Chains A and B, each alone.
Chain A
Amino acid sequence: MAEVNLVEAVNLALAYAMAHDPDVVVLGEDVGVNGGVFRATVGLQARFGAGRVVDTPLAEAGIAGVAVGMAVAGLKPVAEIQFTGFIYPTLDQIINHASRMRHRTRGRLSCPLVLRSPSGAGIHAPEHHSESPETLFAHVPGLRMVIPSSPARAYGLLLAAIRDPDPVVFFEPTRLYRLFKQDVEDSGEALPLDTCFVLREGSDLTLVSWGAMLQETLAAGDALAGEGVSAEVIDVATLKPLDLATILESVAKTGRCVIVHEAPRTVGCGAEIAAGLAEHGLTSLLAPVQRVTGYDVVIPLPRLEHHYLPSVARILDAARKALEFA
């Protein structure tokens, strides 16, 4: 058992996967000698060789495309896109090819790749380095869209993503990379995909979030506890396919729900969860579902990014609206 932060947990998971499966290869810009701009892949090339830890040319569509070809040919590529702001050229490859390879060949071919990318705001990064575009991938049939919210879940979910027989897009919240440490046993044990995690049990209100926003969401849960309100906190973790059952079960108990996400509001994944609650949980609901999200604006540069990100105060405000609704 070692105390590691999230980026170290990613590194542990990659190393474990590579050590136990010769088909796993890591590729991307600066992932080799440099160990990744966030050091997620540090030490891997020295340990596993340049053939399996590939410093690619600077070409995101190409990285995704060769990962598709590698996956179809029997490797398990884990491709890194340096920031989600630069992930858009991969959409063609991921949507048109990776996600439908199994379907369009009726299972003859498959595409077990992982596309990793650091995502989100809050680290004073330059323009195009703070995006949260998970909804683009969560919309795509045949994909999995996963975002961990702690070192332990990063480790277990990344191993699960690498072992999964289908393509997985895996966002790593940069804000969490070095925010806190956690005991993570490097046992190779994966966590389940397609499953929400109940991080805190409660009976008065359900707070639903994922990725870095769970920091504020859990803090809001603590603050509410101080006021005598028992909040259940759910980490969605896998946004596609969505484990609505766990959320419904919670809301059946609490009757009130606040969804928190960093990505812009309109057609964000929170809308899908809210729609699912309206469709399947209406009779459980004692109040309208509240959403606390990034605003529908271009993610601002560092001077304003903290005003963009949902704060504990905004979550508490929404929680009170949900709680006070008669």
Chain B
Amino acid sequence: MTTVATFEITYTRFLDPQGEPTQPLPAFAREPAALIALYRAMVAARAFDAKAIALQRTGKIGTFASALGQEAVGVGAASAMRAEDVLVPSYRDHPAQFVRGVTMVENLLYWGGDERGNDFAVPRHDLANCVPIATQVTHAVGAAYAFRLRREPRAAVCLLGDGATSRGDFYEGLNMAGVWNAPLVVIVNNNQWAISVPRHLQSAAVTLAQKAIAAGIEGRQVDGNDVIAVRHAVEEALAKARAGGGPTLIEALTYRLGDHTTADDATRYRDTETVRQQWQFEPILRLRNYLARVGSWDKEREEALQHECSEQMSRAVDDYLAVPPPSPDAMFDCLYATLPAALEEQRAAARRFASDGGERSG
């Protein structure tokens, strides 16, 4: 018997949970301003989460999926991207979307039940939230294929969760990306939970990163609570993709500190003490400790940032609430490039039976 294949999965971390470097930081992280930008983005995303949950509780938006505790994944990934790259997110990736340029108002509109929230002004070419699980992986592969075919130096970055790695779409997408050497980075936000199903019931694989190996592509793990590690890994993967080196799967280890969505009650299936323990690993405090240690952050700056985020959120909420509702027949708009004649009668009915309905319903 001979061994015909072996594999290894590496794990990367730069900051330990106390914010202490475990190894020399990568080039981008030696500039405090760059790290402060990441820190601000994570804090803003968390402020958005808290406000969005409050808006849901008061009936101002619908069901919302919080990214609490997983901010480093989206912020790290999106900050490594170029504007012309394409982000292919799941539904828990507003931290990445905000870095890309999607506004909080647009995100609130989407969760508030208005498709116009997906019509973001920037970036026009990113995909919108994907609610079905893992189906977006193949979209990212297709987009990456298009970039390669047209010889554009662009890449696709796909975000998904640990549960998504159990679906066929994930495997089909990775497999195709490997065969086609697609300029693609797939990032698994392994937050340990798919609603109530824990990671160990999701897969017997020791790592989710090793699922890349069967597709013939590189898989690696990073500490998903370390924004430096996430950004560094995504930067490396994007550089490789642009240089024709093909796709990479990055498993970012995080923990879902919140409920699955506002429609979920995680106390039904998980121990609150475990969750409390996990707070010591969360990404924002970790980076703040590091920044404070190197003299780039202090209490005053923190207070100023919190104030700024609070103001920004208030403005976003005001702007969101001020958006007039769509017209009742807007559901016929954009169904096709041109509405087929067969649908004119139904649109007329929607107009005819529309109440004057100016109120925003919950």
**A interface residues (Cβ-Cβ under 8 A, vs B):** 25, 51-52, 54, 56-57, 59, 61-62, 64-75, 77, 89, 92-93, 96-97, 102-110, 141-142, 164-166, 194, 241-245
A-B contact pairs, 13 of them (CB 8 A): A54-B180, A59-B168, A66-B176, A69-B140, A72-B127, A72-B139, A74-B150, A92-B135, A92-B169, A104-B128, A109-B128, A166-B336, A244-B342
CA A142 to CA B334, docked complex, whole Å:
9
User: Taking the complex as formed, is B335 at the interface, i.e. its CB lies under 8 A from any CB of chain A?
Assistant: yes
> Which one of B4-12, B28-36, B112-120, B270-278 contacts A?
B112-120
Chain B residues touching A, majority SS: helix
Contact, CB under 8 Å: A107 / B119? yes
Most buried by A among B88, B130, B144, B172: B172
| Closest A residue to B132 using CB positions | A96
User: Assuming A62-B169, A108-B119, is B149 touching A142 (CB within 8 A)?
Assistant: no
Chain B positions within 8 Å of A61 at CB level:
138, 168-169, 172
Q: How far is the CA of A67 from the CA of B172 in the complex (A)?
A: 13
Please, which residues of chain A bring their CB within 8 A of the CB of B116?
Answer: 106
Chain B residue at minimum C-beta to C-beta distance from A25: B149
Closest approach, in angstroms, between the C-beta of A99 and any C-beta of chain B?
Answer: 9
Check if A62 sits within 8 Å of B340, measured CB to CB. no
- Which residues of the other chain, A, contact B168 by a CB distance below 8 angstroms? 59, 61, 89
A69 and B139 form a contact (CB under 8 A): yes
With beta carbons under 8 angstroms apart, the residue of A52, A62, A65, A96 that contacts B149 is: A52
> Would A73 and B115 count as touching, CB distance under 8 A?
no
**Contact indicator B334/A66 (Cβ below 8 Å):** no
Q: How far is the CB of B209 from chain A (nearest CB, A)?
A: 21
Q: Are B146 and A73 in contact (CB under 8 A)?
A: yes
Contacts of A52 in B (CB 8 A): 149
Residues of B97-145 at the interface with A, using a CB-CB cut-off of 8 Å, are 115-116, 118-120, 124-125, 127-128, 130, 132, 135, 137-145
CA distance A62 to B88 in the complex (A): 16
B169 touches A65 (CB 8 A): yes
CB-based contact B135/A65 at 8 Å: yes
Give Cα A65 to B169, complex, Å: 8
The answer to whether B175 has its CB under 8 Å from any CB of chain A is yes
